A = this chain, B = another copy of it.
Amino acid sequence: MSAQQAMDAVSGRRLQALLDTLATFGPGEQGGMNRQALSEEDLQARGWLLDQARQLGCQVWTDGCANLFIRREGREDLPPVMTGSHIDTQPTGGTLDGCYGVMAGLECLHALQAAGIRTRRPIEVVVWTNEEGSRFSPGAMGSSAYVEPERLAVYRNNLDVTGVSVGEALDAHTARFPDLPLREKIPAHAFVELHIEQGPVLEQAAIPLGVVTGIQGVRWYQVRCKGASAHAGTTPMHMRRDAMLLAMDAARRIDALADQLATEDKRLTFGRWNVLPNAINTIANEVTFSIDFRHADPAVLAAFDAQLPGCLPGDTELSSLFSHAPTAFDPTVVGVLEQACTATGLAHQAIRSGAFHDAMYLAGHCPTGMLFVPSRAGISHNPLEFTEPAHLLAGTRALAWSLAALAEQP
């Protein structure tokens, strides 16, 4: 069976060489990476990738948002199976976030080549532009503009800190690669993204492969509790309106609400606090704190939205800062990914993604799924980001099996 052959042809050594070479473009501090979207380092990395694609006999397209589509033709002219991720990094990023998914996709093309397999459907390795959102806002720019092209006109006006617009950076990309043909959005049979977990779940469970069932939705709120400033020495407790006590009580009730709604799937964080006047001997008259609540079930998020105001004392301002619906991945794709993991002979488990990925937008375009490999200590967006080479290999083997299997589907 071709999926098994493709998997067996994956080379951990070749994969590592691809990752090592990509890491030469935009090295950052302490062994990490700093390759901002559409920067000179990014353009150089893209130039190298185009060479790699041509050596593999692939054709490459780009689109209005500088996404790159590296296509290995199939036996039939059907909608392709796509895989990929991003190669831009955080300013103090690691070498694996995004890059791993793209290099593993390239390695799968090498493996298919080495195994002499011609799949029924074409396979495309995609580089999505500016997933991190650290040079230009918002993140997942390339994948969201691909799926919803009307976004691009808005994105083009966004500026980086030096005043360069997305439009100017995209035009510079066109000028740098004038021979790259442009292509509009096309139908796809499936999209699979391989990524490091960026969390501690797989490592703690000592399981090398995760089949991602979906990406949890998120609610960001800001709560502003109002009290009355007064002297800490002269004001009896029953005459106080201490905004910090009000805020801690509110946080406790919000925590209980999240416990009740989400039980063991709770992810709730009070990460940002501002206390006024913030003096040792003065009772706080205003405390502002943030809520980050995430869940995979839209009904749980809706219940949280509905019941949150009831957790707050009177005269409290509640503002919604950000909201994103959960993504449930396609059951058929998830099923193929489970078979692929089983085929590797390694342990695997279902997992949901706490972080956002390009696959979140692709899920609105075609049947989509994701594979995770463990992150050491759950660390990411940091030069210390690391995954065992054996796990990097395992993920790529599962990806190769999945792509080959999906590409044989009618």
Interface residues of A (CB under 8 A from B): 197-201, 204, 216, 218, 220, 230-237, 239, 242, 244-245, 248, 251-252, 266-273, 275, 278-284, 290, 292, 294, 321, 353-356, 378, 380-381
In the complex, how many angstroms separate the beta carbon of A23 from the nearest chain B beta carbon?
22
CB pair B231 A355 closer than 8 Å? yes
Would you mind naming 7 contact pairs between A and B with Cβ atoms under 8 Å apart? A200-B239, A231-B354, A232-B271, A233-B292, A242-B269, A248-B252, A271-B282
Q: A199-B231, A233-B354 are in contact. Are A278 and B269 (CB under 8 A)?
A: no
Bound Cα distance A237, B266 (Å): 7
CB pair B267 A281 closer than 8 Å? no
CB pair B244 A273 closer than 8 Å? yes
Q: Which of B237, B273, B378 contacts A231 (CB 8 A)?
A: B378
Closest to A232 in B: B269
- List B contacts of A270 (CB < 8 A): 244-245
CB pair B278 A273 closer than 8 Å? yes
- List B contacts of A230 (CB < 8 A): 199-200, 378
Q: Which of B231, B232, B271, B292 contacts A278 (CB 8 A)?
A: B271
CB pair B321 A234 closer than 8 Å? no
In the complex, how many angstroms separate the beta carbon of A27 from the nearest chain B beta carbon?
24
CB pair A273 B272 closer than 8 Å? no
- List B contacts of A267 (CB < 8 A): 232-233, 235-237
- List B contacts of A233 (CB < 8 A): 199, 216, 218, 267, 292, 294, 353-356
CB pair A234 B198 closer than 8 Å? yes
- List B contacts of A380 (CB < 8 A): 231, 234
Bound Cα distance A4, B25 (Å): 92
CB pair B218 A354 closer than 8 Å? no
- List B contacts of A234 (CB < 8 A): 197-201, 353-355, 378, 380
Q: A231-B355, A355-B233 are in contact. Are A284 and B268 (CB under 8 A)?
A: no
Closest to A293 in B: B232
CB pair A271 B283 closer than 8 Å? yes
- List B contacts of A239 (CB < 8 A): 200-201, 204, 378
Bound Cα distance A403, B379 (Å): 72
Interface centre among A204, A235, A321 (most CB of B within 10 A): A235
CB pair A273 B275 closer than 8 Å? yes
Bound Cα distance A198, B280 (Å): 17
Q: A199-B234, A233-B267, A267-B232 are in contact. Are A220 and B280 (CB under 8 A)?
A: yes
- List B contacts of A199 (CB < 8 A): 230-231, 233-236
Bound Cα distance A220, B282 (Å): 12
Q: A233-B218, A355-B231, A378-B234 are in contact. Are A272 and B271 (CB under 8 A)?
A: no
Q: Which of B220, B283, B353 contacts A269 (CB 8 A)?
A: B283
Bound Cα distance A232, B252 (Å): 18
CB pair A292 B273 closer than 8 Å? no
Closest to A218 in B: B233
- List B contacts of A269 (CB < 8 A): 232, 242, 280-283
